[in-house]
Structure 1
Amino acid sequence: MNSIRSSLEIAWHEALHDLDPAHLVAQHLKTLDLGSVLVIAVGKAAPAMAQGALQILDPKTNYLVITTDGTDTSRLPNQEQILFAAHPIPDPRSMHAATSALQLAQQSQKDSLLLLVSGGASALLCAPNHISLEMKRRVTGGLMRSGANIQELNTVRRHLSTVKGGGLARAFPRRVHNVILSDVIGGLPHDIGSGPGVADPTTLRDAHAIAEKYLEPSLQEPCKQAFRETLEPSDDVLDRVTAEIVAAPKDLANGFVAKLRQQGWDAHGHPSQSLSAEQLAGWLVNTAYTLSPGQGSVMACEPTLSVPQNAGRGGRAGWVALRTLQSLPDDVIVWAAASDGVDGNSDHAGACVGGADKTRIDTTWVDLCLERRDDATAHQRLGTALEGKPTGANYTDIYGVFRLR
């Protein structure tokens, strides 16, 4: 079983390598004529994306990189042009980062703004509109704990911000070119990082409806008072704005499938769905019973998972893997991995469990771990955790189920 896990990990890392953000950005920029350019890169893949841009642009190009704590920035030449901030809940550094980006865009005399956006940017850029940082943190946390999906979460974020929903495009008075790595299933440019450089098709009515659906009354009223209009698709600003998504979750899922086939698996991709973590675990278990030996099915998914107060250590991927464990046939393995290398608040990237592992568990204890969202503790004890460290990329989670040959 351990050798199978190792082979899955090899395929996983090869698939991630093929979607290296630096390479993707460099290849894309070869087709563009931006003139003199200011580069602002925001998100978990920001350092790698900026590195790719600098391979094509003048090495002396002025840039600002904003990324998450722990992300490797060693390949960038000027460390003073790099800012770190918190994720997924913003902190004071997120406000400083947003202010720095807006001021840089407003004051620049360059011909173009090259905006490199990847998942995680929503928390890293925080410019609350008539609402305190503490209230913004409470709203974000409330939406996440209540199980709002990423599109719903980012709709509220955009309408509470002066930088999201086209705020950076407004701030820069000339050409804006967005290069985007998507971490959202079926995501459009405004979905990724809450769209700081693009138009927002959602409305105030949408934001109000989401707040009423998920937030307690004490959080709804401050939101309603602070909600603002974002950059609308009909705005003239968009005459000078372009956006291109250069990679998305489906690309990583397809790449993982291709690497598995090279290893001899009869692996297939499954269309992504919007599922809760419970529903996704059910899909994995049900699919397990349809597979023949040597077959596998892979799906990109960002499942919703409500999180109780005083939750333990864990994340979506680890929780889903643990939830499947008691129901898997002995000759089946489930793969659940966060492509950014960090699953929730755990030290893991997710987990890889086999049906045979259930002989080593106390079902009552596992149920308690699931209830408390303490899946990381369970996987650490079982030895089923995937090593966690920032990958420098972010294409959401990838799940797979495989019957042994």
Structure 2
Amino acid sequence: MTAPSETLRLLRACFDAAVQAASPQLQLAAHLPAPPRGRVIVIGAGKASAAMARALEQAWPDVSLQGLVVTRYGHAESCSRVEIVEASHPVPDAAGEQAATRMLEMVRGLSEDDLVVCLISGGGSSLLPLALPGVSLADKQAVSKALLKSGASIQEMNTVRRHLSAIKGGRLAAACAPARLLNLIISDVPGDSAHDIASGPTVADPTTRADALAVLERYRIDVPASVSAMLSSDDAETLKPGDGRLPRTETVFIATPMMALQRAAEVARAQGIQAYILGDAIEGEAREVAKVLAAMALSVKRHGHPFPRPCLLLSGGETTVTVRGNGRGGRNVEFTLALALTLRGEAGIHALAADTDGVDGEEEVAGAWITPATLQRARELGLDAAQCLDTNDAHRFFEALQAQVITGPTRTNVNDFRAILID
């Protein structure tokens, strides 16, 4: 593959700017309060939690603090006062379970003079997999795998996860009382709902166990008997808004998908390209979202409607993939492949889609990019694009074309980034 064109360089620059806008190093310090009279305990989970802990330590170099955060394997940072534990994502493992148990113990017995700083980012749901009594880690792993393949939205998946958890759905917050609790959050979910980010361990939950059962029924997910029994019991119910067990809590979003998209738009405009943000909370099947955005791009290209060209169409959110094949896939590469198939090599349209955490699906690849020549090059390599889409094998497709977006761990996470440039 020859060096990327200036068009692809611009798309990559916009993506890199979006990721940088969500950096804990840039965003966290401004939201810290004055240190308390009592102890400072730092807890947290997510793909960005280790980077957030490091930013906190740097912002408070002289404050006595201790804590524990859990991040994905390969996403750790060097910290001196906060312990960093790595665990599995997206399917939980014993390391995460053990860390969740220790975290609950760490925040018990605090006083009103103490402060708990909770660092939350996307990925925390699988990194804190401590189940309610009677539900095993293996049970939670089975449910997680089934949900990931079902096409359920992140909100639906987390509704189930919360109601099987001994730490999520506000239960970790309750353990912190009567200490003051400060949630610093990097949002990776459409709508920036705190109870959906890492399944809301330190915030109240407006959903119910009946909602969780409805998700399993909607997607026809068979679950272990222990899971069915738990969700049929009041023991599964989470803490609701106004619950007196919740401590004094402040919740601050230090980075969001919209902040990242706005920064990307600034980069494009600085290069003389008008940018339009279509939304930061777009959901749906990846291939169906691709069809809609491809139709819009074609309308811009052929008719100058709804926007004049040249322009850049930006969007975020979290699409889903209903897994039907056994290929190597992820929602961003599935979107990009479906986009290429719908555009059919239309001249003057380039695109890039990637996950801002650097991981799309279970691959250490953020996403992929396409040009008008993508399908032709695939044919020359003997690749059947439609078949790759049918078998959820988009990572293999773009790997063969050398059209992958590879960043390594970004240590932040504001969800999907999609950019379509129409010349």
TM-score interval w.r.t. the shorter chain? over 0.9
Matched, 1:234 2:242: yes
| 2:106 pairs with one of 104, 113, 137 | 104
Larger displacement relative to structure 2 (8-17 or 165-174): 8-17
1:341: Cα distance to partner? 0.6
| 1:316 pairs with one of 326, 331, 339 | 331
User: Residue type of the partner of 1:322?
Assistant: L
Aligned to 1:335: 352
Larger displacement relative to structure 2 (206-215 or 313-322): 206-215
User: Residue type of the partner of 2:74?
Assistant: G
Larger displacement relative to structure 2 (130-139 or 220-229): 220-229
Per-residue CA deviations over 1:144-164 (Å, capped at 9, x if unaligned) read: 111110000001000000100
Structure 1 CA distance for aligned equivalents of residues 218 and 146 of structure 2: 11
Aligned to 1:267: 275
Q: Identity over aligned residues, as a percent?
A: 34
Structure 2 CA distance for aligned equivalents of residues 338 and 18 of structure 1: 14
User: Residue type of the partner of 1:182?
Assistant: S
Aligned to 2:316: 300
Structure 2 CA distance for aligned equivalents of residues 205 and 347 of structure 1: 36
Give the aligned length. Answer: 399
Structure 1 CA distance for aligned equivalents of residues 375 and 347 of structure 2: 8
Matched, 1:254 2:272: no
Matched, 1:169 2:173: yes
C-alpha contact 2:176 2:247 (8 A) present in aligned 1: no
Aligned to 2:285: 276
Aligned to 1:326: 341
Aligned to 2:204: 199
Aligned to 1:225: 229
- Partner SS, residue 283 of structure 1: helix
Structure 1 CA distance for aligned equivalents of residues 73 and 63 of structure 2: 25
User: Residue type of the partner of 2:363?
Assistant: S
1:326: Cα distance to partner? 2.6
| 2:191 pairs with one of 177, 186, 189 | 186
Q: Which runs of 5+ in 2 are unaligned?
A: 301-307
Matched, 1:211 2:216: yes
C-alpha contact 1:337 1:398 (8 A) present in aligned 2: yes
Q: RMSD across aligned C-alpha pairs, in angstroms?
A: 1.9
Q: TM-score, normalised by structure 2?
A: 0.90
C-alpha contact 1:334 1:354 (8 A) present in aligned 2: yes
Aligned to 1:373: 392
Matched, 1:73 2:89: no
Structure 1 CA distance for aligned equivalents of residues 195 and 254 of structure 2: 14
Correspondence 1:7-156 to 2 at 5 A: 7-29=10-32, 31-35=33-37, 36-57=39-60, 58-74=62-78, 76-77=79-80, 81-108=83-110, 111-129=114-132, 130-156=134-160
Q: Which runs of 5+ in 1 are unaligned?
A: none
Aligned to 2:303: none
Structure 1 CA distance for aligned equivalents of residues 407 and 15 of structure 2: 13
- Partner SS, residue 192 of structure 2: coil
Q: TM-score, normalised by structure 1?
A: 0.93
C-alpha contact 1:312 1:374 (8 A) present in aligned 2: yes
Per-residue CA deviations over 1:181-220 (Å, capped at 9, x if unaligned) read: 1100102111110011111110121111112112434x17
Structure 1 CA distance for aligned equivalents of residues 242 and 63 of structure 2: 36
Structure 1 CA distance for aligned equivalents of residues 285 and 164 of structure 2: 26
